[in-house]
Every structure is written in C-alpha cells, then in structure tokens.
Amino acid sequence: MAWTNPFVRLVLMPGFGHHLSDEGWIRAPALCVETARSARENHRDTGRGIEETRVKRAVQYRTVRRLPANRSGRDFVLGDLHGHTTALRYLLWQVAFDVRDDRLLSVGDLVDRGDYSEQALGLLDRPWFHAVRGNHEDMLIAVADGLLDFEQWAKVGGEWARKLPLELLASYAGRLRELPLALMVGAPGEGFNLVHAEFFGDDAALGTGYFSEHVRERMLWGRQLIGGTARASPDTLHRGLSPTYCGHTPVERVQRIGAQVFVDTGVFTRTGRLTMVEPATGASHSVSAADAAMAGAANWPWPGETEHESGPLGVTR
C-alpha cells in the first residue's frame, strides 16, 4: 500500500453549534483542517514500551451517546479488546450473557495487536454491543483518510490491515467514525459513563458534547491520572462525575482512581487478561488469551447465534 502522511491539526470554526438529536447523540461543532507537519507528537505507550503517534485530525464526529438504564438485564463494561475475540467469547459464555436483555459496553480499542480485529469490528453490528472510540480506532481512520502513514500504525498493531483492500479499510473507517467519544448510561447522577482514556470534569461538562482539541486528545490518549501527573487531586478533577469506566493504560487488575475505573488489564501482553466488569454489582470477570484458546473458545458461537445453544461451559440457554 502507498500511504501519505500529511499530519494536520484541528481548528475550530466559529459559529457552529452542537445539539442533542432524537437518537440520543450530541453532535460536535464542525471542524476544518490545517496542514501542520510540526503537529506530530510522539507518545510512549507504557503498556508496550514503544512509541505511538498522536493523530490530530479534523472530522465531524459524534461525541456523546446516551443510553437508558438497563432495567431488564445486565450491563457489562469491557476493557480494551485488541482483536482478542476468543477471550471475549469465553467471558460471554462464562457470565451466561443473554442477548435479549444484557448489553456489552466497550471502552474502545477493539482492533490491533490480536488475531481477530475484523471479528472485533463485526461486533459493532450487534444490537447488544456499544462502544466508544479508542485511539486505535482513531489511527485506523487516520490511515484510511491518508493522514497517517500505514507503517506507523503497523508498529503499534495495525499489521493485520496490510493486505486489506482500500475500499474495505475505508468501510471500516466509516463505521468507526460513528463511535462517540463518551457513553453516558442512565439518568445523571444515577448511572455511569465510559470514555477511552480519561476525562477531567463533571457529568454536566461531559454531557455537553463540546470538547476542545485538548480535551478530545485527553479522552483518547491521556495518562495523567493513572500516571500520577495530574495537576489536581482526583477528588477535585472528578467532583460531580459519575463512575466513569476507561481503558487505554493496562493495569494489573481493575483499579479505581477518583471517579475513574480502569478496566484494561492488558490482554495482548504475556501475563495480561481480558476483563469485563458489571457496574451494578462491581463483579469482574477475566481470562487470559492463552486460557481461552486452550478451552477452544475460538470456535464457540457468539451468544444468540443459534436457536438452542448448549454452552461450552455447561451453561444452557
């Protein structure tokens, strides 16, 4: 593939507002593009010890999506998947996931580093699955738009897409553009939120759907809170913020700092696991990629795929 690499930065266009649509979406202001090769910033990924490139681009994207509280079933929050769908199949069977009433909510980074990124993208078409945009989705979009060099993406997990037809990559990018930067679940003050990396502010600020370039970048790439470099205490930064689940930075186990709950337990690493958390109970479920593969979960159906499923773990629906 031949890819160009004109890095750009975001410029807000005055006079463009935002609104809450009938679909529960809050739309971002319109943006324009200004070429800025000097806008490149290298960012060290502490989970892999490699350099990643922050992508500053202009797209008109949906920033916040609201979901009603789940009164009839359970919600599960999923840590960074990174193409490890075998581990996800295992966990969904382990919790007896019911597609009629349960929902799976992802903190993003569905793709890269694992063997099944395309399977992970296919989850977006399932009505019980909802996700926010992660930085790896942002990189895929940037490559498809010709704004990020493919080789830079390949270094951080995008190698799986090398032989994809450009039309298919563009189709995936189009689907990922629809992902919000945040999910807000339930009534204000009674529910919970999802972002990919971190957010400093309260529910009202998150719910406006208006995010500056700096805030947007923090939501996709930020590590100040988990890294201990934030300029204020978590209690100050998160005053008025409902429990907010995030990923991006791998942690050994589910960890809460202020209002933020970090659920990326590094499934792509040698000792890592994929984790799902149930906000209503606080229960967490996790499995390593190796254990899920050893159990044969790669061949297990997704929940709801057959009429009368007899679960691999002895669970019958």
pLDDT given at position 254: 98
Highest mean pLDDT among 22-31, 46-55, 65-74, 202-211: 65-74
pLDDT given at position 62: 63
Is 309 a residue whose pLDDT tops 50? no
Give the count of alpha carbons within 13 A of 84, CB side only: 31
SS3 139: helix
CA–CA dist 157, 47 (Å, integer): 13
25 lies in some domain: no
Greater confidence (72 vs 19) lies with: 72
Label residue 232 by pLDDT band (50, 70, 90): confident
Tell me which residue range forms the domain holding 134: 62-299
310 lies in some domain: no
What is the average per-residue pLDDT within 9-21? 30
For residues 86 and 297, is the Cβ–Cβ distance under 8 A? Answer: yes
Overall number of domains in the chain:
1
16 lies in some domain: no
pLDDT given at position 311: 53
14 lies in some domain: no
Q: Which of 7-16, 86-95, 306-315 has the lowest mean pLDDT?
A: 7-16
Is 7 a residue whose pLDDT tops 90? no
Residue indicated by tokens 């945040």: 182
34 lies in some domain: no
Is 177 a residue whose pLDDT tops 60? yes
In tens, the pLDDT along 103-135 reads: 999 999 999 999 999 999 999 999 999 999 999
255 lies in some domain: yes
Is 11 a residue whose pLDDT tops 80? no
304 lies in some domain: no
Label residue 236 by pLDDT band (50, 70, 90): confident
For residues 53 and 81, is the Cβ–Cβ distance under 8 A? Answer: no
133 lies in some domain: yes
Label residue 188 by pLDDT band (50, 70, 90): confident
Report CA torsion sign: 133, 188, 203, 237: negative
CA–CA dist 72, 76 (Å, integer): 13
For residues 250 and 47, is the Cβ–Cβ distance under 8 A? Answer: yes
In tens, the pLDDT along 135-171 reads: 999 999 999 999 999 999 999 999 999 999 999 999 9
CA 139 from centroid of its chain's CA atoms: 12
Label residue 230 by pLDDT band (50, 70, 90): confident
Is 291 a residue whose pLDDT tops 60? yes
For residues 152 and 159, is the Cβ–Cβ distance under 8 A? Answer: no
Mean pLDDT over each residue of the chain, to the nearest integer? 83
For position 213, which CATH number holds? 3.60.21.10
Label residue 26 by pLDDT band (50, 70, 90): very low
Is 49 a residue whose pLDDT tops 70? no
CA–CA dist 203, 193 (Å, integer): 9
pTM listed for this prediction: 0.80
173: tokens are 């990018």
Taking the CB of residue 162, how many other CB atoms lie within 10 A of it?
Answer: 11
pLDDT given at position 30: 31
